[in-house]
């Protein structure tokens, strides 16, 4: 376990496994423990760089509003701190997927293959549904009342299916403790920064030249496999995989998640020699891309 200073806060980072590096960045309201059920399988194929984002897990809390773009820069600072200069694979859940999209679009030499799990590219709430007001209400209630059962129950209901909540106490505990562990103000600040203030990332996604995997859950209306496919169709090399679950497939569908990611890795082009800041030529989706 290491602590690395970044522009947002000191971030807790765990490195485990062997092989090419792969960054894992979790979603909002949870921490890096959501990878517990997939880490052993993935660590057999990659050196995992498991990050607790700002205001989560063992990392220091945010002290100001921040942006997804700043998170991407913080990820670069983590990689630099670990001496990882070449491109990495990336797996991000919701917020972590948004960070991977921003990183791949704006710093292509640092990322080889982003996989985004349940990460809508549009702004929160712009495709209808109740996601935006749910987050606003959760921030208000949690900020005022703290982790009372109605608040934590609403969070569990938004992230885990009824079946998981009824049968999987370990998953519920991971979510509940990830939510209530950091200081209350820091959790609300992160939600406002990376959910309510999240920009539209569709244009950024369309600029990505690297192969991209979108994992879209079958029970989340804001980012269905069909909506993800509409975005993927406008990208150079993107594919969509449906997985069971609601908001946290690595907990609810770990085998499906591992299979989807490792199949994606197996299909990557053999030759990827992209140095940070260097020009590169790649063949993706039958087109040559110059950077």
- Per-position pLDDT tens, the chain of length 291: 899 999 999 999 999 999 999 999 999 999 999 999 999 999 999 999 999 999 999 999 999 999 999 999 999 999 999 999 989 999 999 999 999 999 999 999 999 999 999 999 999 988 766 788 889 999 999 999 999 999 999 999 999 999 999 999 999 999 999 999 999 999 999 999 999 999 999 999 999 999 999 999 988 778 999 999 999 999 999 999 999 888 999 999 999 999 999 999 999 986 444 333 333 323 233 222 222
Domain ranges within the chain, ordered by starting residue: 2-290
Q: What pLDDT, on a 0 to 100 scale, did the predictor assign at position 39?
A: 97
Question: Between the CA of residue 182 and those of 176, 186, 260, what are the distances in Å?
Answer: 11, 7, 31
Exposed (0-12), middle (13-18) or buried (19+): which is 155, by Cβ within 10 Å? buried
Statement: the pTM of the whole predicted model exceeds 0.85 = yes
Q: Which CATH class is domain 2-290?
A: alpha beta
Q: What pLDDT, on a 0 to 100 scale, did the predictor assign at position 129?
A: 67
Q: What pLDDT, on a 0 to 100 scale, did the predictor assign at position 25?
A: 98
Q: What pLDDT, on a 0 to 100 scale, did the predictor assign at position 276?
A: 32
Q: What pLDDT, on a 0 to 100 scale, did the predictor assign at position 269?
A: 81
- DSSP secondary structure string for all residues of 106-169: H-GGGEEEEEEES--SSPTTTTSSSHHHHHHHHHHHHHHH-S-HHHHHHHHHHHS-HHHHHH-H
Q: What pLDDT, on a 0 to 100 scale, did the predictor assign at position 189?
A: 95
Question: What would the two tokens of residue 224 be?
Answer: 């269905």
* Closest residue by Cα to residue 175 from 183, 164, 184, 186: 164
């Amino acid at each position: 376990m290491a602590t690395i200073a970044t522009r947002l806060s000191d971030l807790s980072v765990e490195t485990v496994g062997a092989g090419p590096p792969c960054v894992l960045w979790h979603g909002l309201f949870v921490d890096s423990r959501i990878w517990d059920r997939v880490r052993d399988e993935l660590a057999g194929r990659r050196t995992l760089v498991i990050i607790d984002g700002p205001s989560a897990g063992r990392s220091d809390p945010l002290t100001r509003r921040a942006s997804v773009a700043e998170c991407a820069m913080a990820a670069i600072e983590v990689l630099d701190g670990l001496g990882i200069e070449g491109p990495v694979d990336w797996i991000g859940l919701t917020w972590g997927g948004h960070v991977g999209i921003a990183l791949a679009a704006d710093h292509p030499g640092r990322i080889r293959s982003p996989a985004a799990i349940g990460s809508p590219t549009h702004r929160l709430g712009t495709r209808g549904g109740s996601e935006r007001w749910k987050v606003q209400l959760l921030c208000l209630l949690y900020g005022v009342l703290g982790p009372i059962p109605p608040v934590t129950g609403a969070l569990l209901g938004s992230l885990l299916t009824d079946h998981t909540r009824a049968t999987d106490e370990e998953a519920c505990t991971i979510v509940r403790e990830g939510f209530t562990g950091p200081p209350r103000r820091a959790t609300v600040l992160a939600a406002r920064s990376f959910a309510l203030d999240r920009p539209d990332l569709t244009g950024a996604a369309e600029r990505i030249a690297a192969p991209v995997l979108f994992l879209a859950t079958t029970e989340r209306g804001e980012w269905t496999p069909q909506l993800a496919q509409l975005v993927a169709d406008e990208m150079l090399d993107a594919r969509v995989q449906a997985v069971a679950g609601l908001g946290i497939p690595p907990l609810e569908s770990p085998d499906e998640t591992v299979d989807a990611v490792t199949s994606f890795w197996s299909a990557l082009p053999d030759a990827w020699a992209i140095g940070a800041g260097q020009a590169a030529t790649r063949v993706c989706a039958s087109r040559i891309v110059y950077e």
